[in-house]
Amino acid sequence: MAISLAAVSLPLGSKGYAQSVTDPLNGPQDAPSDDLLDVSLEDLLTLESTSVAKKRQRVVDSASAVYVITQEDIQRSAASTIPELLRGVPGVEVGRQTNGGYAVTIRGFNSRLANALLVMVDGRSQFVSTLSGVFWDQLMVPIGDIERIEIVRGPGASLWGANSSNGVINIITKHSADTGGVSFDARAGSRFQQGSLSYGGRMSDALNYRVYGTVRHDNGLVDVNGDDVGRRWQGGAAGTRLDWQPDSQNAATVQLDYARGSYDNPLLQVNADLTNPGYSTIRSRDEFESFSVLGRWTQRTSENFDWSLQAQYNDINRCELGNACFDWQLADLDLGFHWRANDVHDVNFGLGARVLLDELEGPYNVRFTDSADTDYWLSGYIQDDISLIPDTLRLTLGTKLEYNNFTGVEVQPTARIFYKPVPEVSLWSSVTRAVRTPSRMERAAQFNFTVELPNSATNPFPLPVYPVLLGDADRGSEHLLAYEAGARFDLGGSWSLDLAGYYNDYRKITVTVPGEAFPLFQDPVPYPLGLGLALDVKGIGRAKTWGGEASLSGRIMPWWKVRLNYSHFDFHVPTDPQSGSPYLMIFPLEGSPRHQVSLSNSVDIGSFFSVDSQLRHVSRLAQGPVPAYTALDLKATYRLPNGAELSLIGNDLLQARHVEFTQPFYPAPMMYVARTISAQLRFRF
């Protein structure tokens, strides 16, 4: 997968910042004269997104389902991690399964490693293509340093490439010029403690910097009785960001980040004792270490043309599942251009290249056919926003063309139409073809996580049967044809309504097909007694998903803001013509709730006191099964005259504990999220 980050279409500001607004990628900018951008900073953060079109565009004018978690939302949230900030966003599914492990996706196919969701931090892809997913516990950016989070529900493939077929989450941190001085944030509670310290300064009129450090200790999840399932999760991160703007046409950013953590997880491991077939419960000592560096140069050569060059390097070392360890090294280079040709055509185009080296060492039940591998990608994209009727009707056409060394050429086109008949109403629709390229696990896996005991309902034979997942070296890409439509309404009096609906047709989904049985004294599983059953990975599955999302927000009173979000999700998996049963997918759709509802309230009581709450209901998951649950987060904050904030926070207050997610192929017992109470101190000076 090649990720290309084009230049954001903004004039680069002067060295003085008194009359500036903040570009999330390039920093403080002189306020443009264009009426579209002539808004306050608060309105700009609330209304604009750069993730849909690789340029600044108001959310109400985007032909996509977009949701922005603003800086104010982040500051008032009861969340302590980035995945928890995403709870309640329409179309987004969030569940904890293990210590440190979150399952996060958009519109279905949820998994601890959701394989069709692209996550970025300031343009750096966090997608680990070896296993197809994101390790959320490695994203330890201090929440107070986040400017906003942009969530694009639906395919972003025509600009962002493969593996963004279900959506894009773009986490944008603050420009270093906006974080001068010291920022301190400490939070301690019944289940976790965390703290972060950031310091920003100015080396010259053109050069600003920020350094940060953060630590976290978390007791993790509990069992059905409320007892800890492992020793605490503990980790920390540190990093720096430098922003240089030598003149009004050029800007550069350099970022370095390092994170490290360790934790315990209980696992159900297949018992290798031939006299006692079944499972042994072990406590796996898991750990990770990650390092990344990013450099980006942006230049605006004229009022109608700008470009950016970005380079990044990521290195991840991680051990899980009883000493299955992998080393993942990525180098990526992207060149993007934005050209406003005339009043009708506004064009983005670019090129990208990526090289990935990975190596895995595992125990007897976790192996790849080739322990080390190198993959590479080349890509190009072009997208044209065509103004058919100025400020009323716009057509967007674009495509991403990629080549990789394991599936070949991938073409991902899109067509979007936007119509604004009156200033208070916006209508849009789109059709997109997207692909998800197979992970190394799907191409080269030799995994054995389960056993079917002898003389049981699933195994009538007198010997145990050990299913073995076998990857397919010729596995092709998964294809998606997505149809979307939406509407936005300005209801007056600060109230707005955002609606979106979708229909997705997936083809060539990864499924497992029972293959040959073999005696286990042969590779790939070294057991001298029993039968192995090959589960061959094949790209022959199909599925259809559909649903709708709604977000209603406004103010009941000037001091009382509310937001009501709702998501509906449904799916159909056709019957495999060979077996007569539904396709057995590695990432089943049964892991997604049919209904999600969240109600958020923000109440200001005077100038110094506020109360914020979020009430969420998530319907049951057929996978597990996981019962429905309702959760309440509550935060009461007192703002001291010196700028400090004291908060009392309760998370998941309605139940002592509840389960949120479980996954059949991940060999772990059921674990529960516990109620927590914490206190927080924030201070900036």
> What's the confidence (pLDDT) of residue 649?
97
Is 400:164 a contact under the CB 8 Å cutoff? no
* Residue-range domain boundaries for the chain: 20-684
> What's the confidence (pLDDT) of residue 49?
53
Angle at 611 between CA 550 and CA 213, to 5 degrees: 90
> What's the confidence (pLDDT) of residue 496?
95
DSSP class of 145 = G
How many CB atoms sit inside 10 A of residue 510's CB?
Answer: 24
363: Cβ contacts below 8 Å, ≥ 6 apart = 321, 322, 323, 324
- For residue 412, what is the enclosing H or E element? strand 408-422
> What's the confidence (pLDDT) of residue 11?
27
Task: Measure the CA–CA gap between 615 and 451, rounded to whole angstroms.
Answer: 40
366: Cβ contacts below 8 Å, ≥ 6 apart = 321, 322, 324, 360, 447
Domain 20-684: CATH architecture, name and number where available: Beta Barrel (2.40)
DSSP class of 5 = -
In which residue ranges of the chain is pLDDT below 70? Answer: 1-57, 272-275, 322, 364, 520-528, 664-667
Is 451:520 a contact under the CB 8 Å cutoff? no
- For residue 82, what is the enclosing H or E element? helix 82-85
Task: Measure the CA–CA gap between 77 and 69, rounded to whole angstroms.
Answer: 10
Residue type, 329: Q
> What's the confidence (pLDDT) of residue 200?
93
Q: Is 599 helix (H, G, I), strand (E, B) or coil?
A: strand
Of the candidates 139, 239, 234, 145, the one whose C-alpha atom is nearest the C-alpha of residue 194 is: 234
- Residue 27 gets the label, from left (phi > 0), alpha (psi -120 to 50) or beta, of left
pLDDT in tens, 198-218: 999 999 999 999 999 999 999
How many CB atoms sit inside 10 A of residue 592's CB?
Answer: 25
Look-up of token digits 């190009």: 380
pTM of the shown model: 0.89
How many CB atoms sit inside 10 A of residue 683's CB?
Answer: 15
pLDDT in tens, 325-378: 889 999 999 999 999 999 999 999 999 999 999 988 877 677 888 888 899 999
How many CB atoms sit inside 10 A of residue 204's CB?
Answer: 9
Q: Distance of CA 84 to CAs 47, 78, 136, 170, Å?
A: 22, 9, 11, 15
Q: For the chain, give the longest Cα–Cα distance.
A: 80
Concatenating the DSSP letter of every residue in 271-287 gives: ---TTS-SEEEEEEEEE
> What's the confidence (pLDDT) of residue 468?
84
